Structure 1
Amino acid sequence: PGNAIAPGAQGQLGLGATYYAANGASRNASMLFLKQGYLRFHGRGKTPRHSLRAGRLEFIEGTETTPANATLAALKRDRIAHRLLGNFGFSHVGRSFDGLEYKWNRGPRSNLTLMGGRPTRGVFQVDGWGGLDAAVAYGAWTQSRRVRRGAGEWRLSGIYYDDWRAVVKADNRPLLERARDFGRIRVGTFGGNYLHVAETAAGTFDALFWGVLQTGSWGRLDHRAGAFALEGGWQPRALPRWKPWLRGGFQYGSGDSNPADSRHGTFFQILPTPRAYARFPFYNLMNNQDAFGQLSLKPHGRVALRAELHALRLAERSDLWYLGGGAFQPWSFGFAGRPGGGHSSLATVFDTSAEVALGKRATLGLYLANAWGGGVVSSIYPRGSSGRFGFLELLYRF
């Protein structure tokens, strides 16, 4: 892709350019490496009281337990998991951790999960053998609630992230200042979420809250940031053959209001799977406001349809438009930022998807999206601020 990486703020134009840049400007890159390999120790029974994994493993925060309620389980899978720590499942390589995971199940409704490890290389870089000069520690307590005609679950969590790679950070300071700051990133993230499902005569209603606060150091700067999400949904009893599910919500990740002070206020998303919350992955939860609506349909047991509409804005116009999913190689930061040009309107995105189960192991997926760029995008791409993204994939599980 000789012209897929533009100079200046325009940067990499699509995922092809990202793979090209991450693999030493190679058009054909391949590598065999160990994705997962660990020892697991656990007690007896279907849900053992204690379990321990040690080695190279995938870890996804928010998936500590699987609720019996189908709506609650879907919300955890699609709207809680992967926000801050994930396996970057959309890319060809993905992410693993070299470390330990311990789980303690205190009866059927309570769970303690602890994890510590170092992220591996990978994501877009095909050589996933090595580790990174970064480490993460995670702890969470998950508790389900007995609710009349419904279900509920809450989780309290804490994450400590330490990154001592000597790379230029992505933030809104001038480049010369950032190039002189190779101080460590040490960030603590504390918060939780609550999910609630209510069965009524009008249908099934759901509510979701997720929120975190961050404190620590961002190189030479003090780090103070936060993020939250508020969402609700309704599965009406009408049209039972189509099983409609209407959802909407708002999520917010703080931005930095002053690049000249001693505080870094941009929410840091750590090591997520960005596409779980940005299906057209040209943005993430950093310095972002996302108001969205969603419609899901299941006209057949093997067919799932979904459409979403997103209105995206920068939380702070003096900060950057961020994208990416965190550290994946020693020589690049993992998150990228483009200047907003004094604007706050990022884009409006409409997308649709269809998944068809071809059997127990195979799934056919189709995705189409269109983005109409706002002032931020237009200031960087004046010749055309709209974008389109689509793919057809066949997934086979061994």
Structure 2
Amino acid sequence: MKTCKCSGFRPGTPAFPAGLLLAGLSTLASADAGNPLAMELGGATRLRLEICERLRGEAVDWFGKPKIRDVVLDRTYDYGFMGNKFQLGLRLNHDDWLDGFAQFQDTTLAGLPDNGVGLGARYYENSEHINQNSAFLRQGYLKLRQSGFWLSGGRQLYADGMQGLATDKGLKWIQEQRLAQRLIGAFDYTHAGRSFDGGTLGYGTADYEISGFGFVPTQGGFDINGMYSIEGINIAGVTLGLRDGDRFGRTLGRLAWYVYHDDRPDVIVVDNAQTLPPQRGSHIDLHTVGGHAVHVWEAGSGRLDGLLYGFGQFGQWQAQTQGAFAFGAELGYQLTDVWASPWLRAGINSGSGDGNPDDDTHGTFFQLLPTAWLYAQFPFYNMMNNQDVFVQAILRPHPAVTLRADFHALSVNATADLVYASSGASNQRFFGFLGTPTHGHADLANLTHVALSYRPVENLTVNAMYAHAFGQSIIESNYAGANGNYGFLETVISF
């Protein structure tokens, strides 16, 4: 599903961005399939203007009105809202050793619920306006390259798991859709996204890549004011990635070590400790160590792929010692010479939970700053205290059309813990992850979703998604209803 490749909706109306969308559509017929906005400045210096416009309508049916101790709260759970993200970037390249990029972003939201639950409510609680608009610097960095080395600094995007880019088409899809951004990502599914202030450095060859980074994340995600850094959070890491090619064949591998620090003074940390009254202030220092391996084999009339990943986590969680883990195993088979190239995949993804809130060890795997939507496309859960057993089918009946269908059986690993959702810190005030009590139950939901991506011309993509969740005992104990629905329709124009 194509999103804004140039990256990756306060009071106001969406009229201006929607006008840009219509203007962009009217020029598509005359647009060059490449980039009509690039120019040579002389010698080896090139300048390119990059534009991305995403307009999305979202429909939410969030299981029913929430209930606490069998008391049903009067909250809006069935609603729709609109979001628009417009990005304008200017990229400068010189002789392949200098890359500079500056990007402006304007985000508009309209029709948010002012007393709701679910996705729209997350945007509202950060700014408390039904209609919101914000403009900010999304990216602004310089990157230097020389003889395989690179150094970058400034405001930029980052995706864990993408170090050592795959060249094989199937491996690239697995890397982007099944590995990347599980722990660190740009959160670009939301209408604001997330950036990182800091720098990276590294060295790469055709066979491997070693790199390091140090960042302070920006506000964003469900807080559309993305201009400011989040004081109190720092994240750094080193990775070693193996690339597919002549030496390793159709194989990807990675080892990674991430360090995460959060000492924001005003947030209430979400976990199962249940201190009353809730204590303000985060004291989190975590080390996350792990890696992944992926391989593709020729098998019969198609290709067989296997994926393994795992992470261990240790350090300090408030007054407790952190001891947690996460892992995944997936298997797929694609018939490459059959109409629509059907690709069937299945697997399990699991993050540990905390089985005893009263001991000295915190056992919930903490997901850092991910883009959780990639793996939870009806995002009422993430991989913290979660087990996700899934099957999926991917079809490409036409070069311009991709279809995907998923089924997920969702449960928690520790019934004494919470059900967690969202993608980490969005600002100084809110912790970033949500927690819902299990009430001693283990079964969360059975989830189905289908997605369609249609790209009629080079610069236009239309995406649609619908998901239905059959809520199980945890959902039934927290909401007046059991079933939930979520869907969206969006257009993406990019140059």
CA contact (8 A) 1:88 1:123 kept: yes
User: Measured at CA, do residues 129 and 27 of structure 1 come closer, stay the same or move farther in structure 2, by a change above 3 Å?
Assistant: same
Query: Per-residue CA shift, 1:81-132, capped at 9, x if unaligned?
Result: 0100000010000000100011211x21110121101000111111111111
Counterpart code for 1:84? L
Indicate whether 1:327 and 2:431 are aligned. Answer: no
Q: How does 1:9-24 map onto structure 2 within 5 Å?
A: 13-23=117-127
- Aligned position for 1:216: 315
Task: Using the TM superposition, give the Cα deviation of residue 13 of structure 1 relative to its aligned residue in structure 2, in angstroms.
Answer: 1.6
Taking a change above 3 Å as real, the CA distance of residues 181 and 17 of structure 1, as seen in their structure-2 partners, is: closer
Matched-pair contact (CA < 8 Å) for 1:101–1:113: yes
One-letter amino acid of the structure 2 residue matched with residue 33 of structure 1: F
Root-mean-square deviation over aligned CA pairs: 2.0
Q: Which residue of 2 aligns with 1:363?
A: 461
1:109 is aligned to 2:109: no
Please name the residue that 2:482 is paired with: 385
CA distance in 2, matches of 1:149, 1:270: 31
* Aligned mates of 1:138, 1:276 — CA distance in 2: 22
Secondary structure of the corresponding residue to residue 177 of structure 2: helix
Higher relative contact order (CA 8 A, sep 6+): 2
Tell me the secondary structure at the aligned position of residue 193 of structure 2: coil
1:184 Cα deviation from its structure 2 partner: 1.4
Deviations 1:171-213 (A, max 9, x none): 0111416x23635100000000000000122310000001000
Cα drift, residue 50 of structure 1: 1.1
Letter aligned with residue 85 of structure 1: I
In structure 1, runs of 5+ residues without a counterpart are none
Displacement after TM superposition at 1:66 (Å) = 2.0
**How far apart, CA to CA, are the structure 2 residues paired with 1:173 and 1:282?**
21
State the Cα distance separating 1:296 from its structure 2 match.
0.2
Q: Which blocks of at least 5 consecutive residues in structure 2 are unaligned?
A: 1-59, 76-115
Letter in 2 for 1:18: R
Aligned to 2:273: 173
Question: Do the aligned partners of 1:118 and 1:131 also contact (CA within 8 Å) in 2?
Answer: yes
Alignment CA distance shift 1:353-1:151 (3 Å): same
The whole-number CA distance in structure 2 between the counterparts of 1:57 and 1:218 is 28
Which amino acid in 1 is paired with 2:494? Answer: R
| AA partner of residue 271 (structure 2) | D
Q: How much does 1:62 deviate?
A: 1.0
Aligned mate of 2:328, from 222, 229, 232: 229
Q: 1:275 to 1:341 in 2, by over 3 A?
A: same
Inter-partner Cα distance in structure 1 for 2:336 and 2:209: 33
Q: State TM-score, norm by structure 1.
A: 0.93
The correspondence for 1:126, drawn from 220, 224, 231, is 224
Partner letter of residue 40 of structure 1? Answer: K
Q: Contact 2:159–2:180 at 8 Å: present in 1 too?
A: yes
Runs of 4+ deviating beyond 4 Å: 3-12, 145-150
Max radius of gyration: which structure?
2
- Please state how far the C-alpha of 1:5 moved relative to its aligned partner: 8.8
Structure 2 distance, partners of 1:85, 1:95, is: 10
Conservation of the 8 A alpha-carbon contact between 1:302 and 1:356:
yes
Inter-partner Cα distance in structure 2 for 1:151 and 1:75: 12
How far 1:70 sits from its partner (Å)?
A: 1.0
Q: Per the alignment, do residues 147 and 378 of structure 1 end up closer, same or farther by CA in structure 2, a change over 3 Å counting?
A: farther
Structure-1 separation of matches of 2:451 and 2:129: 31
For 1:205, the aligned partner's letter is: L
Q: Structure 2: how far apart are the matches of 1:187 and 1:148? A: 35
Q: 1:40: how far off?
A: 1.3
In structure 1, what is the equivalent of residue 176 of structure 2? Answer: 77
Change (3 A) 1:180 1:391: closer
2:233 and 2:261 in contact (8 A); partners too? yes
